[in-house]
Amino acid sequence: MRIIACTEGSFGKLEPFSLEMITAARTAGAAGDEVVAFFAGQELEPAVANLGAADRLVAASAGGSQLIAAESYTRLLADTVAAEEPGLVLVPYSANGLDVAGNLAARTGWPLVSYVNEIRRDGDRLTVVAQVYGGKILAECSVPLPAILMVNPGAFAEAERRAVDPSKLQHFDATAAVAEGKVRLVGVDVPNYDSVDLTTAERIVCVGRGIGDEASIDIARGLADILGAEIAGSRPVVDSGWLPKVRQVGKSGQKVKPKLYLALGVSGAPEHLEGMSKSDLIIAVNTDPKAPIFNVAHFGATCDLFDLVANLSERLQPGR
Amino acid sequence: MKILVVLRMIPDSAGELELTSDGRGIDREWLDFQLNDFDDHALEEAILLKEASGATVVAVAIGEGSNRVLQMAVARGADEAIALEAEGDGMIDSRAIAGSIVALARSKAADLLLCGVQSTEDLFGQLVPYAGALLGWPHVSGSSRVGIEASALRVTQERGGGIAATYEIALPAVIGVQTASKAPRYVSGSKLREASKTAIGKAPSEPAGFERSAEIVALRLPGQRGSGENLGDNPENVADRLASILAAKGFAGV
Ligand SMILES: Cc1cc2nc3c(=O)[nH]c(=O)nc-3n(C[C@H](O)[C@H](O)[C@H](O)COP(=O)(O)OP(=O)(O)OC[C@H]3O[C@@H](n4cnc5c(N)ncnc54)[C@H](O)[C@@H]3O)c2cc1C
């Protein structure tokens, strides 16, 4: 069987989950299977320099801007799928992947399972484990092949980074195809890290929706100050305008790996965990003992976050 | 312009979820059903577009509590409310309902289909790409802003790492809303009471023509708290323990 592992990269960098898709493909594969990495983007360099762990690389150069719209990515992938006739296509659960996976499933009529964490081959089927209900329930599914899986970033280890052998690279120019798309990229905004760069912070106190309102952020900020930590927030907190976008941790925010990550009133949805589960020390406070944040926390407490912050601030206050 | 916005009622993930005795579903008997958070943002974006451009908004809801949420949608500014018949009483499978949504988008002559970017139940794929592919319309998932200029949409999409891409898309189109341009508004009790008089239309379920993706063999709860230590629920004890853990690891005192 042939397995296509979809990869992504922009601004000269390969998304690390691209290497995870190769590991996922190897996990799903049997002896003799071929793993083909698929890449589409403006510059091929990040893919060519890193995706050598795949058996082959099919790469489309899209011209134009740094980012390629999912519409074009899907169209190029669909052409590759038609030519390669794979038995399995792995798409990362990313902003791009959200549009790619379902569209490809509709075009091919193939089954699609999303939010996949584990893959096992069972003859001519796959058994996969996917996360539903914000990570509170795992669904084990039996999927006939050919199939498409949307795989969670962080679920598989990164394959080794090495350059692609030139004889294993198949490159095509897709500039014309991309120019025909109906979704036209007109601008890209890159966050301004001048004020704060969470990716280099050593200590982070992150508040989730459990903080309740904007005024209460100050209570958490007080504890962050005592700890010498940066304050960060989950998506709902940033969406409500209580913290600036550069302080969002997770899938569409920053991916952080501090020495200390204290999560207050964060449920631990997969999209949040993606941004912080590799932190050295994770401490979580959440009144719901079943909150998925506890699955990655090294220490967890189920008390009210306000009671905890008050008590802990008092104990850590310098000069006390 | 006519906007069709989809509202899915899903179990509250913050609540207690229990499995059925056969282990293949969740016990729905005592569950609280809520409007999918992202669909709430899609509704808000639809109303904001109506206010900016004079569009008509048709809200279609599916799942338990549809009528209640449709009344709320009308109170917030939707012009028409439709309850979509659900098949069975299990998960709302976006792959399966895509056919009904597409049929409605066609029969209502919608130019723009708005839905939440995802729901925690769409194990078999998201509504936006399925509906987009079936309609043959361009689609973009994960919007944080949708605006209209002339007859083209301007959509800002959240990519990873805080990067935002802005696209121009000619209508018709399908957009998966992650965050509305403004936080969803509250409605007053009097507006809700007024809206409760609105007639709610019905739409039958239509097949999407896709085969079911997979068979659910079993559902289970994730392994209880990895290797982490539970410090309990007494804030004073927890604070004592955390203070010494932080001190031991060199974090206490700056
Ligand atoms: C494409 C995409 C990208 C996304 N990107 C991100 C991202 O970058 N970052 C991100 O965070 N999310 C992201 N999300 C959203 C994610 O799915 C969740 O909706 C979000 O992480 C939930 O945030 P939360 O944990 O703060 O809120 P909730 O899930 O509402 O959790 C609040 C928690 O607080 C607890 N709580 C309430 N009161 C208290 C109290 N007094 N004391 C203690 N605990 C309390 C509750 O038990 C609950 O567990 C993304 C989603 C999608 C679809």
What's the pLDDT at A278?
A: 92
Contact B44, B124 (CB under 8 A): no
Task: Give CB contacts under 8 A, 24+ apart, made by A191-194.
Answer: A191/A245, A191/A246, A191/B161, A191/B162, A191/B163, A192/A246, A193/A246
Top residue of A88, A149, A213, A315 to mutate, by most chain B CBs within 10 Å, is A315
- Indicate the pairing of strand A299-301 with strand A260-264: unpaired
Tokens of A244: 């600036």
Residue B251 counted as domain residue: no
Centre of ligand 1 to C-alpha A98, Å, is 19
Contact A268, A294 (CB under 8 A): yes
Tokens of A128: 């996969």
Instruction: Kindly report, residue by residue over A234-292, the tens digit of the pLDDT.
Output: 999 998 899 999 999 999 999 999 999 999 999 999 999 999 999 999 999 999 998 99
Identify the burial level of B119 via C-beta atoms within 10 angstroms of its C-beta, where 0-12 means exposed, 13-18 middle and 19 or more buried. Answer: buried
Asked whether residue A130 is marked as a ligand-binding residue, the answer is no
DSSP A1: -
pLDDT tier for residue A317 given thresholds of 50, 70 and 90: confident
Residue B244 counted as domain residue: no
Instruction: Kindly report, residue by residue over A45-94, the tens digit of the pLDDT.
Output: 999 999 999 999 999 998 777 789 999 999 999 999 999 999 999 999 99
Q: How far is CA B46 from the centre of its chain?
A: 13
Segment A22-37 shows an average pLDDT of 96
Tokens of B240: 């004592």
Sign of the alpha-carbon dihedral angle for B87, B92, B98, B102: positive
Sign of the alpha-carbon dihedral angle for B173, B177, B182, B183: positive
Q: Do domains A2-179 and A198-316 have the same CATH topology?
A: yes
| Alpha-helical runs (H) found in chain A | 17-28, 45-50, 70-84, 95-108, 175-179, 217-227, 235-239, 270-276, 305-316
**Residues 110 through 139 of chain B touching chain A, CB cutoff 8 Å:** 117-118, 120-130, 132-134, 138-139
Instruction: Kindly report, residue by residue over A189-208, the tens digit of the pLDDT.
Output: 988 877 889 999 999 999 99
**A93 Cβ partners below 8 Å, 6+ apart?**
A114, A115, A150, A151, A152, A153, A270
Contact B235, B242 (CB under 8 A): no
Distance CA B69, CA B53 (A): 24
Torsion of CA A145, B131, A114, A238, to 10 degrees: 160
Instruction: Kindly report, residue by residue over A111-135, the tens digit of the pLDDT.
Output: 999 999 999 999 899 999 999 998 8
Tokens of A165: 């052998």
Which of B158, B159, B177 should be mutated for ligand 1, with most atoms under 8 A from CB? B158
DSSP B251: -
What's the pLDDT at A318?
A: 60
Q: What is the ipTM of this complex?
A: 0.94
Distance CA B104, CA B80 (A): 12
Domains in chain B: how many in total? Answer: 1
Q: Which backbone phi and psi does A219 adopt, to 5 degrees? A: -65, -45
CA nearest A18: which of A153, A119, A129, A120? A153
Q: Give the structural domain span for B144.
A: 2-203
Strands, E, within A221-272: which ranges?
230-233, 260-264
H or E stretch covering B149: strand B139-149
Residues in chain A: 320
> What CATH number should be reported for the domain holding residue B112?
3.40.50.620
Residue B211 counted as domain residue: no
Count CB atoms within 10 A of the CB of residue B150: 8
Cα–Cα distance list, A112 to A39, A301, B215 (Å): 20, 37, 11
Distance CA B96, CA A6 (A): 25
Residue B48 counted as domain residue: yes
Q: Is B248 on the interface with A (CB under 8 A)?
A: no
Count CB atoms within 10 A of the CB of residue B64: 18
What's the pLDDT at A274?
A: 94
Q: Could you state, in order of their start, the residue ranges of all structural domains in chain A?
A: 2-179, 198-316
Contact A149, A87 (CB under 8 A): no
Pocket of ligand 1 (CB under 6 A): A 95, 208-210, 234-236, 248-253, 265-267, 269, 271-272, 275, 285-288, 291, 304-306; B 14, 117-118, 142, 178
- Indicate the pairing of strand B2-11 with strand B139-149: unpaired
Distance CA A117, CA A104 (A): 20
Residue B237 counted as domain residue: no
User: Do the Cβ atoms of A144 and B243 come within 8 Å?
Assistant: no
CA nearest B75: which of B190, B165, B201? B190
Fold of A2-179: Rossmann fold (3.40.50)
Asked whether residue A269 is marked as a ligand-binding residue, the answer is yes
Q: Which amino acid is at A293?
A: I
Asked whether residue A272 is marked as a ligand-binding residue, the answer is yes
Residues in chain B: 254
Angle formed at CA B138 by CA B132 and CA B142, multiple of 5 degrees: 80
Tokens of B241: 């323990």
**Residues 141 through 160 of chain A touching chain B, CB cutoff 8 Å:** 141-144, 147, 150
Asked whether residue A267 is marked as a ligand-binding residue, the answer is yes
Mean pLDDT value across chain A: 94
Tell me the mean pLDDT per 10 residues along chain B, length 254: 97 86 86 94 98 96 95 97 86 93 97 97 96 97 94 92 92 96 91 92 88 91 76 96 94 67
Fold of A198-316: Rossmann fold (3.40.50)
- pTM for the whole thing? 0.94
What's the pLDDT at B254?
A: 46
Q: Which backbone phi and psi does A193 adopt, to 5 degrees? A: -90, 10
**Token match 């399925």: residue?**
B130
